[in-house]
Structure 1
Amino acid sequence: MMNLKYTLQLQRKNILSFFLAAIFIWSLFAVKWSEDLVHSGGLATIQQVALALFNPNLSPTIIQLALESTWITLAYAVCGMTLAIVIAFFFGIFASGIMFDHTGPKLVFKWVFRGILGFLRAIHELVWALIFVAMFGLSPLSAILALGIPYGGILGRILADMLNDIPEEPIQALRASGASKLQCLLYGYFPLVRANIISYTMYRFECAIRSSAIMSFVGLGGLGFQIQLSLNDLKYDEVWTFLFFLIGIVVLVDSWSVHVRKGIHEAKKGFTFVSFSFFFTILLLISSWWFIFSYEQASLKDLFSEKNAFYAQKFFAGLFGIGAENTPAFLQLEAWKEALKLTYETLRMSVLAIGISTIAMFLTVIPAARNIADGSLTLIRKWYAWLLFGFIRILYIFSRAIPELVWAMIIIFILKPGILPGAIALALHNFGILGKLCAEVIEDLDERPVRNLASCGASKSQMLLYGVLPAVMPKFLMYILYRWEVIMRTTIVVGFVGAGGLGQQFKMSLSFFHYTDVSLLLLCYCILVLIADLLSEAARKAAK
C-alpha cells in the first residue's frame, strides 16, 4: 500500500515537471526570435553598461546625492511597513477567525477578511501608487499608502495562516484557567507566532526597500528617481553608483534580519542584539515619520481635503463610467478582446520569466550550497569550491537586490520593447531569490542518505543525481511556483517602461485619462492573478 502511494506521488511529480517544462517551451513561441530584437546600438550599450560597472562615479557630489536618496528610500519603506503592520494586525486576526467561537460568524469573518486581504495584495504597489497619485496628487502619503496596502495584505494573510496553524492545546489550557479572548491572543497566540512573524516582517521590509526605490516612477524621490534620471542622461557610471547604494542597504537589512532571527531563537538575557534592534527600530520609525511630515511636508489634512475628495470622486466615477460620454470599455466586446489578448501576452511573459530564472537557478544552485562547498555533504573537497560559492552568492545578492523595474529600464536600452525584455527583467530579479532559497534547501538536507551513497563508492555526480535532487525537488517546485505567483503580480510593472503586456496599455490608458479602460485592464489583471494563485496552489499540492 505504501509503495503504491509512493508510486502515485512520484507519477504526480513527474507529470507536474513535464507540464511545467511544456508550458515554458510554449512561452518561447511568444517571442519572434530574430536579430530585430536588439536595438541597432544595443551591443554598444551593453559594453558601456558593463564598463561603467567597474568604474562607478564616486565624486563627492554623487556620493552625497546617493546618501540623501538612500535615506528617502529607507524612510518611505519604514513608513509603508508601519502602515502594513497595522493593517496586518487587525485584518489578519479577523481573517484567522480565532476571535469567534461560533462556526457561522467565524466562517463569515474569516472569508470576508481573507477576500479583502487577497484583493489588497493582488494589485502591485506601483499600480496602487499610480491610482493614489491620480486621486490625491504627488504626495509622499500616496507612496506610503501604495506600499502599506499590498504589504499589509501579504503580512495579514501570513499572520492569519500562522494563527490558524497554532495547536489548540495551549489555548484551551488558557481558556480553562479563565482567560478572556484578548488574554488568549496576547499570552497564547502571539508568543507562539512572534519569532516567525518578526522573521517574515523583516524579509518583507527588505522587499519594501526595493519597492520604495521604484516609487520614483510616479515622480517621488529616492534612489530609483536618481537611477531613472541617470539612465535618461545615459550616465551609466552614476547608475551603478546608485545601484550599489541600493544593493548595500538591502544587504544590510538582510544581515540585520539574520542576526535578529538568531537572537530570538537563542533567547539570551540582558541587553542583546534583539534589544538593540528594538530601540533602533523605534528610532528609525520616529525619524522616518518626522522626515515625512516635517521635511517632505506631508499633511493628512491636505490628503483628505475637499479638493482631493473632489478628484477622488471624479477618479472613481471615471473608473465606473459614471457620466462618460461613450460606452464604458468594460461594456465593449472589442475592448474585451484586446484586453484578453494583452492578458494572454502577460501570462506568457510570466511563464517565460519563471522558466529562464529556473534554468539559471538549476545551473548555479549546487555550487552555491554551503555544504557542497565545504564538502560536508558529498565528502569531496575541491580547492575552487569556495571561490565558486562566493562568486555565485554575490551574483544572487546582486540579482535580487535590483528591482524588476530597474532591470527593465536598463534592458529596454538594449532590446526593443516587447515580451522578451520584460521576461528577462523579471527573470534576473527572481533568479537571485530562487537561487538563495533553493541553496538553503540543499543546506538543510538530511546528509545521511547522500553519505551512504558516498560510502558505496558513488561519484559526486551520482550523489547529486540520485541523492540530492530527488530529496530537494518537491521544495524546489514549491518555491518555483510561489515565485511564479509573485512574477504574475509584477508583470504589469515592467510593462510601464515598454516591456509589453497589460502594464504598457495600463500606463497609456491612465496617462490619457481613459479610466474605463483602466477598470477593464485592472479587472483582467486581478483575474489573471487569481487564476495564477489557484493553479499554483493546486500544483504545490501535487508537488508534496
Structure 2
Amino acid sequence: MPSSPTVRASLLFVLVAVVCLFFADIAITTANPWRDLGRFFMGIATPDFFSTEGLYIAILRTVAFAFTGVALGSISGFLLALVYRFRVVRLFCAFIRSIHELFWALIFLQFFGFHPLTGVLAIAIPYAGIFAKVYSEILDEADPEPRKLLPFGTGVISTFLYARVPDCWEQIRTYTAYRLECGLRSSAILGFVGLPTIGFYLEASFSQGQYSEAGALLILFYVLIATIPWWVRPKLLPFYIGAAPFFLGDGLPIVWGNVARFFTEDIVPAPIRNNEGLGSLASWFSDLMITEALPGIWNTLVLTQIALVFTGVLALLAFPLISTHFGGPVRRTTGHVFLVIARSTPEYILAYILLQLWGPSMLPAAVALALHNGGIIGHLIGRQSSGIRLRTDASSGINRYAFELVPRVYRSFLAFLFYRWEIIMRETAILGILGIATLGFYVDSAIQSIRFDRAMVLILITALLNIGIDALSRYIRRRLALQTMPTC
C-alpha cells in the first residue's frame, strides 16, 4: 500500500476539496442541457468540413502562431537557461511563466491591437520562462565525464557545445516537441480574444448554433495534434519555422505612441496619475482588494482545489484503460482515443463548450480541468503501469487494480498531480474570462471598462498566487520524497 505520509496528504487534499464544494457554485442552469448535449454530439457525428474556407485558414494560422511563438520562446529560454543559476533570472522566469498566455494576449491587445505580434509574444514570453526552467534542469543533470576528456585549455563555449549539449540533446529535443504540442493548444485558444486561430471560429460556430461546423473544427484540431509525429520531422523544422511568420496574417500598423502611453499612463494607478495623494491611493487599493481581488482569489482557490482532486480521481480511473494489465487490444485502443481527445483539447475550449451546454457555473470549469489534466496523468500512469511485471499468480480484476498496481504507481501519480497543481491554478484563473468569478473574470471586466491600472494589479496578484502554489507544490513533493520533475 502507499506509505502513510502520502495517504495522509491525499486524504487532506480530498477533505479540502469536499469543504470547497460547499462554497462552490456547481449548478446546471440551462433549460435543457441534455438536448443541447445531444445537438453537440450530433455535430461531432456529422461534421461539415466545407461550410467555410475559414476552417482551413484557422488551422494554418493556428500552426503558424504555434511555430513562431514556440521557436522564439525556446531560443529565449535556452539563453536564459545558461544564466538560470542567478536568483534574479529565476525570479524573472518564474514571473513570466506564471501569467497565462491569454493574459499576455489581453495586455498586448491594448497597444498592439490584433497585430500578429500580439499572438506571437503571448506564446513566446511564458514559454521562454518554462523553457528556461526545464532546459536548465536538463543541462544540470548532464554527465560531467565527457568534459574531463576534452584537451586542456578547451574554451568554455567549445566545452559547452561538445561536452554538455550532445549529452542532453535528446531530452531537449523531446521536451521541445512536447512544448510544440502545447503551443498548438495555446495558439488555438488565442482565437477567443479575437486572433484568427481555431478558437475564433469555434466561438463563432457555437454562438450561431452551427454544431456541425464546430464539430469539424474540433476533429481537424484532434487530427492535427495526433499526426504531429508524421508531419513534424526534424528535417522539415527549418522550413516550418522560416515559413510560419508569413502565414500569421495581417494587422493594422503598430502605433508606438499607444505603447508608450500604456506603460506611462494607462497602467499607472489612477490616484497617482491624477496626483491625488497617498490617501486616495490607499482607498483605491483597498476598494480593489475588497471588491475584486479577494473574491477572485477565493473563487480561484476553491475551483483549483476541486479541480485538482477531480483530476486525481479521473486519472486513477482512467489509467487502466490503456494499461496492458487490463482488457484486450480493442479496449486499450478505445482508451487511447479517449485519453488523446481529453488531453489534446485545451481546458479553455472544453470549459467553453460545457458552459454553452450547462450554463455559467464552476461545474463546467471543474469538469474541463479534470478531463484535460486527468487525461494527461492517466496516460502517463497507464504507460508506467504497463512496464510493471506481475507474478504469474497475481490477482485479476479489481483486486489487481487496487492491490497490485495502484500501490506501485501511487507515488508517481502524486508527483504528476502535484506537478500540475500550479498549471491547474493558471488555467482556473484564466477561465474567469468565460464568466466564472475567478481572477480572470475581474481582469477581463477591468479591461473591458478601460481600467488597465486595476487589471494590471489583478494580473500581478494572479502571478504571485501561481508562484506561491508552485513553491508549495515543490515543498510538498520534497517532504513526501516525490520526484521533483516527474518523467515517464
Q: TM-score, normalised by structure 1?
A: 0.82
1:28 is aligned to 2:4: no
Q: Which residue of 2 aligns with 1:47?
A: 38
Q: Deviations over 1:111-133 (max 9, x none)?
A: 11111111110000010000011
Measure, in 2, the Cα distance between the counterparts of 1:440 and 1:330: 55
Measure, in 2, the Cα distance between the counterparts of 1:516 and 1:329: 14
Structure 1: where are the runs of 5+ without partners?
Answer: 1-6, 98-109, 258-276, 374-381
2:260 equivalent among 299, 309, 320: 309
1:329 Cα deviation from its structure 2 partner: 7.6
1:253 equivalent among 222, 225, 228: 228
2:190 equivalent among 215, 224, 230: 215
Q: CA RMSD in A?
A: 2.4
Relative to structure 1, the CA distance from residue 361 to residue 319 in structure 2 (aligned partners, 3 Å threshold; closer, same or farther) is farther
Contact 2:270 2:453 in 1 (8 A): yes
Q: Deviations over 1:187-216 (max 9, x none)?
A: 111111110011001001001001101111
Contact 1:412 1:498 in 2 (8 A): no
Measure, in 2, the Cα distance between the counterparts of 1:22 and 1:514: 39
1:303 Cα deviation from its structure 2 partner: 4.1
Relative to structure 1, the CA distance from residue 213 to residue 328 in structure 2 (aligned partners, 3 Å threshold; closer, same or farther) is farther
SS at match of 2:131: helix
| Letter of the 2:48 counterpart | N
Q: Which residue of 1 aligns with 2:119?
A: 143
Greater gyration radius = 1
2:290 equivalent among 312, 315, 337: 337
| Letter of the 1:529 counterpart | N
1:238 is aligned to 2:191: no
1:290 is aligned to 2:246: yes
1:330 Cα deviation from its structure 2 partner: 8.3
Contact 1:329 1:520 in 2 (8 A): no
1:177 equivalent among 149, 152, 165: 152
1:467 Cα deviation from its structure 2 partner: 2.5
Measure, in 1, the Cα distance between the counterparts of 2:251 and 2:381: 42
Relative to structure 1, the CA distance from residue 324 to residue 237 in structure 2 (aligned partners, 3 Å threshold; closer, same or farther) is farther
Q: Which residue of 2 aligns with 1:359?
A: 313
1:323 Cα deviation from its structure 2 partner: 3.5
1:328 Cα deviation from its structure 2 partner: 4.6
Instruction: Give runs of aligned pairs for residues 200-211 of structure 1, distance below 5 A.
Output: 200-211=175-186
Measure, in 1, the Cα distance between the counterparts of 2:65 and 2:81: 23
1:82 equivalent among 71, 80, 86: 71
Measure, in 2, the Cα distance between the counterparts of 1:351 and 1:415: 21
1:70 is aligned to 2:59: yes
Q: TM-score, normalised by structure 2?
A: 0.91
1:19 is aligned to 2:12: yes
Q: Which residue of 2 aligns with 1:440?
A: 383
Specify which structure has the bigger relative contact order, considering alpha-carbon pairs within 8 angstroms and separated by 6 or more residues. Answer: 2
1:365 Cα deviation from its structure 2 partner: 1.1
Percent of residue pairs identical: 25
Structure 2: where are the runs of 5+ without partners?
Answer: 483-488
| Letter of the 2:321 counterpart | P
Measure, in 2, the Cα distance between the counterparts of 1:319 and 1:195: 51
| Letter of the 2:236 counterpart | F
Measure, in 2, the Cα distance between the counterparts of 1:132 and 1:81: 17
SS at match of 1:412: helix
Q: Which residue of 2 aligns with 1:101?
A: none
Q: Deviations over 1:36-57 (max 9, x none)?
A: 5321132321121122221111
Relative to structure 1, the CA distance from residue 191 to residue 343 in structure 2 (aligned partners, 3 Å threshold; closer, same or farther) is same
